[in-house]
């Protein structure tokens, strides 16, 4: 069996699709030291509980870096050949940037441009938000559009892309060999 060994991987999926768990299990299976770059902030009790649940799912080997806005700087400082870094998640990072009035498109471009220079492998977790209804307000539509552009840019820049649906991973990039016959 041939295994992929990408330097950068984008894991996309819907809410509660199992993408974070799958990315974490992939990092757990690596001989490298697992590191998590967390982008979420506990703005309320429910979010604090989510963050605590995610923390409880990781064992003591995991190291944590919190980077709600400076993801590029955190990656540059954290990535190393002997580490596997999971970024969970691009969606919260993007929301944080937009709510802070930062240039989201510029930050996404800077992030994708920086990928080849990272000193070790990285797994990005991101939500697929474009499969639902069109949001009814401008902010939500702007966010959905920015998230779609971020996922496209990361998908182009990363060596591999996996979509997780109902806890099941499906390789998107590099594309699996088609089994189509006429």
Question: Catalytic annotation on 54?
Answer: yes
Q: Which of 6, 7, 33, 54 is an active site residue?
A: 54
- CA 175, 121, 106, 151 dihedral sign is positive
Block residue for tokens 């691009």: 90
Query: Closest by alpha carbon to 67, among 46, 98, 34, 92?
Result: 92
List active site positions. 54
């Amino acid at each position: 069996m041939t295994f992929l060994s990408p330097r950068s991987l984008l894991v996309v999926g819907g809410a509660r699709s199992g993408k974070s768990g799958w990315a974490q299990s992939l990092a757990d299976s690596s001989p490298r030291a697992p590191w998590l770059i967390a982008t979420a902030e506990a703005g309320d009790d429910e979010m604090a509980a989510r963050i605590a649940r995610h923390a409880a799912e990781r064992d003591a080997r995991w190291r944590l870096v919190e980077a709600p806005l400076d993801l590029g700087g955190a990656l540059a400082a954290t990535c190393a050949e002997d580490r596997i870094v999971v970024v969970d998640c691009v969606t919260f990072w993007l929301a944080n940037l937009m709510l802070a009035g930062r240039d989201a498109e510029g930050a996404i471009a800077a992030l994708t441009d920086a990928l080849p220079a990272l000193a070790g492998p990285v797994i990005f977790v991101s939500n697929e938000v474009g499969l639902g209804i069109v949001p009814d307000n401008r902010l939500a539509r702007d966010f959905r559009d920015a998230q779609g552009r971020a996922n496209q840019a990361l998908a182009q820049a990363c060596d591999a892309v996996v979509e997780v649906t109902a806890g099941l991973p499906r390789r998107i990039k590099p594309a699996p060999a088609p089994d189509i016959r006429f």
